[in-house]
Chains A and B, each alone.
Chain A
Amino acid sequence: MLFWQILIAGFAISSLYALGATGFTLIFGVTGVLNLSHGAIMVAAAVAAWAASESLGVGSYLGAVFGILTGLLLSLATYFLVVGRLQKSRKIREEEKEIFILTATLLWGIMIQEAIAYLYTNNAKTVAPIVEGVVSILGVRTPANEVFTAVVCWLSIGALWYFVNGTRAGKAVLAASMNPRGVTLLGIELSSVYFAAWAIYGVLAGIAGVLLGMFFGVSSYSAGPLTASAFSIVVLGGLGSVYGTLIAAYVVGYLETLTAYLVSPAYRTIPALLLLVVVMYVRPRGLLGRR
C-alpha cells in the first residue's frame, strides 16, 4: 500500500521537476546561459494565474493561460533586458561574460521576487486546480490534480520533443546547441534561434509554474529554492543533456518522496543534496553529461 502510494505521489512530483528542469537545460544547451531567475519566473507565472482566477474571477482555465503568458513575457524580458545586453556588451571580456550573466540573472530574479512580494505579499498562494476530486489508482486514493499534473507535464515534454525533432525551426534550435557557428553558416539568424529558445523556455517555465502553484502552492520565498532545485537536477543529469535531466528529475523526486514518507518531511531535501555532492565528486559532468 505504502509502496504504491510513494510510487504514485513520487511520479507526479518528479514529472513536475522534469518539466521545470527541461526548460532550464534547454536554455543552457542552446544559449549557454544558466538562468538564475528561473525560480522567480515560475513563481511569477503561478502568482499571475492565482491573481487572475481569484481577483479577476476569470476561472482556472483562463487563469492558467494568463500565468503561462506571464512566464513567456518575463522570459523574453530576461533575454532582451538582461542577458542579450550582456552577450552583446563590448565592455566585458568574452571569458568573463558567464559570471556576469550569472550575477545579473540572480539580481533580475530578486527583482521579480520582490515585485511579487510588494504587489501580492509574501503569503503562500495556491492556484485553484483545473480538475478536482479524487480518483483511485491501484487502490490508492489519489487527487485527480496529481494525475492531471503528470499528464500535462509529459504532454509538454512530448510537444517539445516533437518541436525539436520534427519541425524545421526546432531543428535549427537543436543545431544551435551543437554548433552555433555552423548554424550561422547555413544562413540561419542566430538571434532568431535564441529568441525561439527563450520563448519556448518561457512557455515551459510558465506551465511548470502554474502546475506547481496548483500542486504545492507558491510564495515569493520559493523562488530561490526552486532555482536551486532546477540547477541541481540539471547538473545531476549533466548540463545540456535533456535525457539526463529527465532521469535526474525522477531520481530527485523519488528520493524526496521516499524521505518524506519514510523518515520525516523535515529531512525532505537532504538526501538529494547529499547525492548531488557525491555525484559531483565522483563524476563532475553528471550522469549523462557531454563534457
Chain B
Amino acid sequence: MLRRILLFPPVWISLIVVVAASTLPLYVSGYILGLLTIAYYFGVFSMAWDLLFGFANEVNFGPTFLIGLGAYTAGILDNLYQPPIFVCVAAGAFAAVTGGVALALPALRMRGPYFGLMTLVAVLMLQNFVVVAAELTGGEIGLTVPDVISIDDKVNYWIALGFMTFSGAVLYGLSRSPVGLILQASGQDAVQAGALGFNLTKHKLAAFIVSAFFSGLAGALMVFYLGAASVGTFIDVTVGVQVIIGAVIGGRRTILGAAIGAVFLIAMGEALRPLGDLATFIVSGMALFVVLAFPGGLLGMVKGAREAT
C-alpha cells in the first residue's frame, strides 16, 4: 500500500521538490527565505480554497474571512493574555472553523453566485468590524503581537515549508478519497449526485470546515511569523483575490497546483516589483490569459501534454 502511494507520480515528485526546498536555507539569502515563507503560507490558503472551488464547485470569494478570523483571533489572544503560542494558534484555527460553520450553514442553502456573495459580504463585515473595534484589533493601523515563533529566518522557513507539506498531504489525500469524489460529483451534477443518495450539504459543509481549519491555522501561523496583523495583509478583498489567482493559475481541481500557483504568484509579484502598479496588472493579465487559454491551469497543461502523447 505504502509502496503504491510512493510510486504515484504526484507524490514522489512532490516529495523530491519538498526535500530540495528544505535544503534551500543552506545556500540562499535571508531575503529570499522570507519571501518563500510568505509564499508557502499563501500556498496553504490557495490549496484550502481549491478544495471548495475545484471539488465542491463553490466560488468562495471570502477566503480572507477565514484567514482573517484565524489571524486576528490568535493575535488578539496573544496581545491580551500572552498564553503559549500554540494555544493562540489553536484558538485561531478553532475560531476560523466556528466562523466557517456559521457562514456555511446559511450560505450552503444557496447556489452559485448567491453563495459567492454571502462569502464576500462576510469579508466586508469582518473588515468593518476590525476597523470599528479599533481598541481590540488595532483598527486600520494594525495589530502588533508581542511574541513571534522565532527570529531565525531558517526556522521560520522550515516551519512554513513543513506546514505547507502537511496541509498539502492532508488536502490532497482528502481530494483523492471517496469524500473528494463525492464532492466532485456534487459539483458537476448536484441533482444526480443527490439521487445517488449522498448527503451533499453534509459533504460540502465538511469541505468548508477543512478549508476553514487550514486557512485559519495558516493565518494564525503567519501572524506569528510577521509579528503583526493588519486588514491589508489578512482581510482585504485583494488578498483574497491573490489566493484565488494562485489557485486558478496553478490548476483547478489539483490541490498541489494551487500551492505551485501561489508560490509562482508571490515570486512573480516580487520579480516585477520595480514596475510598481504595473506588476499587479501584468500578473492579473497572465492569470486571465491562463483562464481563457488553458482553463486547467499550469498543472492542467502538464496533464494535457501527457495525455496527448
Contacts and interface: CB of A to CB of B under 8 A. Distances in A.
Nearest to A225: B124
A86 to B, nearest CB: 7
Q: Which of A92, A103, A228, A281 has the most CB of B within 10 A?
A: A103
Interface string A86-127: 100101110110111011101110110011011000000000
A95 B125 CA distance: 30
Contact of A104 (B276, B278, B292, B296): B292
Contact of A231 (B117, B125, B291): B117
A21 interface: no
A103 B292 contact: no
A228 B284 CA distance: 19
A103 B128 contact: no
B244 A106 contact: yes
Nearest to A96: B57
A51 B58 CA distance: 40
B59 interface: yes
B291 A114 contact: no
Q: How large is the interface on A (under 10, 10 to 19, 20 to 34, 35 or more residues)?
A: 35 or more
Interface stretch (B32-40, B71-79, B106-114, B219-227): B106-114
Interface residues of B, number: 42
A232 B284 contact: no
Interface in B270-309: 276-278, 280-281, 284-285, 287-288, 291-292, 294-296
B82 interface: no
A150 B281 CA distance: 35
Nearest to A34: B113
Contacts of A115: 281
Contact of B120 (A86, A114, A228): A228
**A contact patch SS:** helix
Given A224-B238, A235-B114, A91 B295 contact: yes
A231 B281 contact: no
Interface in A239-291: 239, 266-267, 269-270, 273-274, 276-277, 280-281, 284
Given A91-B295, A107-B288, A115-B281, A102 B124 contact: no
Interface of B: 53, 57, 59, 106-107, 109-110, 112-114, 116-118, 120-121, 124-125, 128, 131-132, 188-189, 237-238, 241, 244-245, 248, 276-278, 280-281, 284-285, 287-288, 291-292, 294-296
Given A270-B125, A273-B128, 16 more contacts: A91-B294, A96-B57, A98-B113, A100-B291, A106-B244, A107-B245, A107-B284, A111-B281, A114-B277, A118-B277, A228-B121, A231-B117, A232-B117, A235-B114, A277-B121, A280-B117
24 contacts: A91-B296, A95-B188, A95-B189, A98-B113, A99-B57, A99-B59, A103-B244, A104-B288, A107-B285, A107-B291, A108-B284, A111-B284, A114-B277, A114-B284, A118-B276, A224-B237, A225-B124, A270-B132, A273-B125, A277-B121, A280-B106, A280-B110, A280-B114, A284-B114
